[in-house]
């Protein structure tokens, strides 16, 4: 088993003096007459450290987001906030982007200076029904943005392929390779599962659309006007709608079918072409998300365990999914007896 990295090993650390000097330089490049009156850490996410900057001349609140996770592996060096903001336009509310920099000359990490959107982050409490509907509306609007092919946002991979099955297989293989180093027993089971399922994918002719790829309450802001803003586009990708449904399902609607149904109805108000039942039919997409999340949680420090489940949760949900069991909303503790029983059942069952 690979040891989980602790917070100090996992992150790029920037001392306060260096951060203050860099922040001043970054801000005045956009607002030449500005004075910084307040600078403090607002949050430390799984990938980014986010700082609040209050300025005068003009009076504004800004966010400085630093990508401090050392082994960020989704198109490292590629900053997507501005790119996505241009694609979305006025379709949904996203932050205005002032500066994006991946040179590592001003700071020892990539960073983005953006607008602060006032409101309530929807990971701090349960959503209301209306907020769940609005979250569904916003996701459907994101999925209305189409591309000519499946590709990454790396400049070396802009042509991609029009064949979803081919593109999806490329996502599975690196994941299985990582699991082999962490949990060989699970890797064997997972390989059997994906080998049997990928040939049955029904989305071969799917249209490439924009995925947020990290869509959950922590990246949704309920604004005073009642609308929803969508933030944090680090993981944005090109795929199919199903990819975006599972994180919000597990993090925010796990034990509330009523809210999940409200979210689905909100989605279909905007994008009625998508059959929401496809999410249930194509469990392979949820399986890959669970496996990737298991890898991430196994290898990284969890700084918010009350919101982000432990690695054992994803492993247990992955195994239950392969057995065709419905999730009961109860975290499976990391005990060898429980996990071994599930694996034994899978290995003796024709997948």
Output the DSSP codes for 68-118: -BTT--SSTT---HHHHHHHHTTSSB---EEEEE-SSSSSSS-EEEEEPPP
Question: Does one domain contain both 68 and 143?
Answer: no
Does residue 204 register a pLDDT over 50? yes
Say yes or no: 34 and 143 in one domain.
no
Biggest alpha carbon–alpha carbon distance for the chain: 70
- Planar angle of CA 64, 66, 71, nearest 5 degrees: 165
Q: How far apart are CA 241 and CA 278, in angstroms?
A: 9
Quickly state the pLDDT bin for 321 (edges 50, 70, 90). confident
User: Which pTM value belongs to this model?
Assistant: 0.87
The overall average pLDDT reported for the chain is 86
- Greater confidence, 6 or 314? 314
> Once rounded to an integer, what is the mean pLDDT over residues 115-139?
96
Mark 98-137 as b/e (b = at least 16 C-beta within 10 Å): bbbbeeeebbebbbbbbbbbebebbbeeebeeebbbbbbb
Average pLDDT over residues 318-341: 56
Q: Is there a domain that residue 334 lies in?
A: yes
- Report the SS3 class of residue 174: helix
**Portion of the chain with pLDDT greater than 70, in percent:** 84
Per-residue HEC secondary structure of 266-325 comes to: HHHHHCCCCCCCHHHHCHHHHHHHHHHHHHHHHHCCCCCCCCCCCHHHHHHHHHHHHCCC
pLDDT at 332 over 60: no
CATH code: domain of residue 77: 3.30.200.20
Rounded Cα distance, 317 and 312, in Å: 9
Listed residues 116, 141, 158: the one ending a domain: 116
Given this model, what pLDDT does residue 337 score? 45
1 domain-assigned: no
User: In the chain, how many domains are there?
Assistant: 2
* Same domain (yes/no): 64, 39: yes
Same domain, 252 and 273: yes
Q: What is the pLDDT of residue 96?
A: 96
Same domain for 107 and 144? no
Neighbouring CB atoms inside 10 A of 205's CB total 9
- Domain closes at, from 116, 137, 157: 116
Q: In angstroms, rounded to a whole number, what is the distance separating the alpha carbons of residues 101 and 110?
A: 6
Residues 136 and 258 in one domain: yes
Q: Are residues 149 and 36 in the same domain?
A: no
Going by pLDDT thresholds of 50, 70 and 90, the confidence category of residue 325 is low
Is 171 in the same domain as 260? yes
More confident: 278 or 339: 278
Q: Give me the CATH number covering residue 216.
A: 3.90.1200.10
Of 87, 205, 232, the residue nearest 146 (C-alpha): 87
24 & 38 share domain? yes
Task: Identify the domain boundary among 66, 99, 116.
Answer: 116
Residues 248 and 334 in one domain: yes
Cross-strand pairs, 38: 54
Does a structural domain hold residue 157?
A: yes
2 pLDDT band, cuts 50/70/90, is very low
Residue 147 to residue 206: CA distance in whole angstroms: 11
Q: Are residues 220 and 273 in the same domain?
A: yes
pLDDT in tens, 292-320: 999 999 988 888 888 899 999 999 999 98
Tell me the residue range of the domain where 282 lies. Answer: 121-347
**What digits encode the pLDDT tens for the residues 143-195?**
999 999 998 888 766 668 888 888 888 889 889 999 999 999 899 889 988 88
Separation CA 240–CA 263 (nearest Å): 18
CB 121 within 8 A of CB 218: yes
pLDDT recorded at residue 3:
40
129 plus 64 within the same structural domain: no
């Amino acid at each position: 088993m690979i040891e989980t990295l602790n917070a100090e090993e996992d992150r790029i650390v920037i001392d306060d003096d260096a951060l203050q000097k860099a922040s001043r330089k970054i801000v005045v490049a956009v607002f030449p007459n500005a004075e910084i009156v307040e600078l403090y850490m607002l949050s430390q996410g799984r990938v980014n450290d986010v700082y609040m900057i209050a300025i005068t001349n003009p009076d504004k609140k800004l966010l400085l987001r630093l990508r401090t996770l050392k082994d960020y592996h989704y198109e490292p060096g590629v900053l997507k906030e501005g790119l996505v903001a241009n694609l979305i336009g006025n379709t949904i509310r996203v932050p205005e982007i002032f500066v994006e920099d991946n040179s590592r000359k001003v700071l020892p990490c990539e960073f983005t200076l953006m607008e602060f959107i006032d409101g309530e982050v929807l990971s701090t409490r349960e959503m209301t029904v209306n907020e769940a509907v609005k979250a569904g509306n916003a996701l459907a609007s994101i999925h209305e943005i189409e591309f000519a092919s499946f590709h990454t946002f790396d400049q070396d991979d802009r042509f991609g392929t029009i064949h979803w099955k081919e593109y999806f297989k490329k996502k599975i293989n690196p994941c299985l390779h990582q699991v082999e180093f962490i949990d060989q027993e699970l890797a064997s089971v997972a390989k059997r599962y994906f080998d049997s399922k990928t040939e049955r994918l029904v989305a071969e002719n799917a249209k490439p659309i924009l995925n947020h790829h990290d869509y959950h309450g922590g990246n949704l802001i309920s604004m005073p006007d009642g609308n929803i803003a969508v933030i944090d586009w680090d993981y944005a990708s090109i795929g199919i709608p199903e990819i975006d449904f599972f994180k919000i399902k597990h993090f925010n609607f796990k034990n509330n079918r009523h809210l999940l149904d409200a979210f689905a109805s909100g989605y279909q108000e905007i994008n009625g072409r998508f059959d929401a039942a496809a999410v249930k039919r194509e469990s392979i997409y949820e399986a890959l998300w669970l496996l990737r999340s298991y890898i991430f949680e196994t290898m990284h420090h969890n700084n918010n365990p009350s919101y982000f489940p432990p690695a054992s949760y994803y492993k247990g949900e992955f195994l239950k999914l392969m057995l065709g069991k419905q999730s009961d909303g109860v975290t499976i503790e990391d005990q060898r007896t429980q996990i071994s029983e599930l694996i034994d059942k899978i290995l003796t069952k024709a997948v």
